[in-house]
């Protein structure tokens, strides 16, 4: 079936991929324009308020050299409001990282839940440092910014989804650009994977980082966000060939679109908000083909790691 090789240039589809070290990065405003304009489902309704909280302090990027900080710390603005997925895509765009990997990273760190509180400690001094009493959580937000390491990030890391994502990706970019010589002799620029491991463990490819990367790889295969994300037009929490069929039926006008789940009439409706998988503002046969490709484990912009 020739249609199954349907692909389009990544740029045309708006998929954000990693930009090489030294690349010019787009502004937050440019990225905001690219990730909004389409009504998207909020996968994590409990994030909604924090997703609307913008702005935050200007802080140093922990571990980055003064030159990098001088050039980039002002970019940490948290100046974007949207759905959880839109905020992740905004961050991927702004800091030049692969959005699929970032989805997986955020899932490993927090299951995309802003209220995730990690690295619980009983240490009095550590907790006192952030104004808490034991036991206290050190890490917060979608990407789990660790308060005692990344000075000045707490409590904003608990309050603004966009600000926490912005900071964590600024740190990742500093690592990726080669600013973290303290990571040792094997460290060098251009290794996104190494930097993701270092965010978790603080070391360059140590055992903890490698274990973390194994989990990250597993999530990239499973794509748990995809299973409950856009594409599930029949509202059964899976994206599969049935959804493709529903979209075809919608395209030939034998099915009616409704906004959201559950469907009042499973036999006659589809969730139109979930149908535009290629983000061209239309729900049509192209979306059905993309969903079908994913179901057949063929990569495309919607499921780059099927
Ligand atoms: Ca489905
Ligand atoms: Ca579409």
Who surrounds ion ligand 1 at CB < 5 A?
A: 232, 234, 236, 238, 243
Neighbours of 236 (CB within 10 A): 14
Residue 49 C-alpha to ligand 2 middle, in angstroms? 28
Inter-residue contact 140 to 158 (CB < 8 Å): yes
pLDDT for the residue 197: 98
Q: Which ligand is nearest to the CA of 280?
A: 2
Residue 304 C-alpha to ligand 2 middle, in angstroms? 16
Name the one residue in this structure whose structure tokens are 């990367």. Answer: 213
pLDDT for the residue 259: 85
Residue 149 C-alpha to ligand 2 middle, in angstroms? 43
Residue 247 C-alpha to ligand 2 middle, in angstroms? 10
Q: Which ligand is nearest to the CA of 250?
A: 2
pLDDT for the residue 111: 93
Residue 288 C-alpha to ligand 2 middle, in angstroms? 9
Q: Which two tokens stand for residue 262?
A: 């559950």
Distance of CA 95 to the CA centre of its chain: 12
pLDDT for the residue 5: 38
Q: Residue 117's beta-bridge partner residues? A: 140
CATH of 230-295, one of 1.10.1330.10, 1.20.120.1200, 3.40.50.11540, 3.40.50.300: 1.10.1330.10
Residue 155, preceding peptide bond in cis (omega within 30° of 0): yes
Provide the residue-wise pLDDT of the chain in tens; the chain has 306 residues. Answer: 333 333 333 333 468 999 999 999 999 999 999 888 554 567 788 899 999 999 999 999 999 999 999 999 999 999 999 989 899 999 999 999 999 899 999 999 999 999 999 999 999 998 998 899 999 999 999 999 999 999 999 999 999 999 999 999 999 999 999 999 999 999 999 999 999 999 999 999 999 999 999 999 999 887 777 655 678 899 887 888 999 999 999 999 999 999 888 899 999 999 998 898 887 889 999 999 999 998 888 877 776 555
Residue 232 C-alpha to ligand 2 middle, in angstroms? 13
Task: Report how far residue 126's alpha carbon sits from residue 31's, in angstroms, rounded to the nearest whole number.
Answer: 36
pLDDT for the residue 14: 67
Domain ranges of the chain: 17-224, 230-295
Q: Which ligand is nearest to the CA of 288?
A: 2
pLDDT for the residue 6: 37
């Amino acid at each position: 079936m020739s249609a199954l090789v349907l692909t389009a240039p990544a740029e045309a589809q708006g998929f954000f991929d990693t930009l090489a070290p030294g690349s010019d990065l787009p502004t937050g405003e440019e990225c905001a324009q690219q990730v909004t304009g389409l009504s998207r489902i909020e996968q994590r309704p409990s994030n909604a308020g924090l997703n609307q909280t913008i702005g935050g302090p200007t802080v140093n990027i922990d571990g980055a050299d003064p030159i990098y900080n001088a050039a980039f710390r002002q970019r940490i603005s948290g100046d974007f409001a949207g759905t959880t997925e839109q905020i992740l895509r905004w961050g991927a765009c702004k800091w030049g990282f692969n959005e699929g990997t970032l989805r997986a990273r955020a899932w490993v760190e927090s299951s995309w839940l802003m209220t995730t509180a990690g690295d619980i400690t009983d240490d009095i001094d550590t907790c006192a440092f952030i104004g808490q009493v034991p036991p206290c959580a050190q890490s917060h937000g979608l990407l789990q910014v660790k308060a005692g390491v990344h000075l000045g990030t707490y409590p904003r890391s608990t309050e603004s989804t966009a600000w926490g994502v912005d900071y964590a990706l600024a740190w990742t970019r500093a690592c990726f650009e080669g600013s973290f010589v303290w990571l040792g002799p094997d460290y060098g620029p251009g290794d996104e994977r190494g930097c993701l491991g270092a965010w978790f463990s603080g070391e360059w490819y140590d055992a903890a980082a490698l274990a973390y990367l194994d989990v990250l790889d597993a999530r990239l295969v499973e794509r748990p966000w995809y299973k409950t994300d856009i594409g599930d037009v029949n509202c059964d929490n899976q994206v599969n060939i049935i959804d493709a069929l529903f979209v075809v039926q919608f395209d030939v006008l034998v099915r009616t679109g409704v906004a959201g789940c559950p469907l009042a009439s499973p036999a006659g409706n589809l969730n139109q908000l979930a149908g535009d998988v290629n983000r061209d503002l239309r729900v049509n046969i192209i979306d059905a083909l993309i969903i079908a490709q994913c179901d057949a484990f063929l990569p495309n912009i919607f499921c780059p790691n099927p």
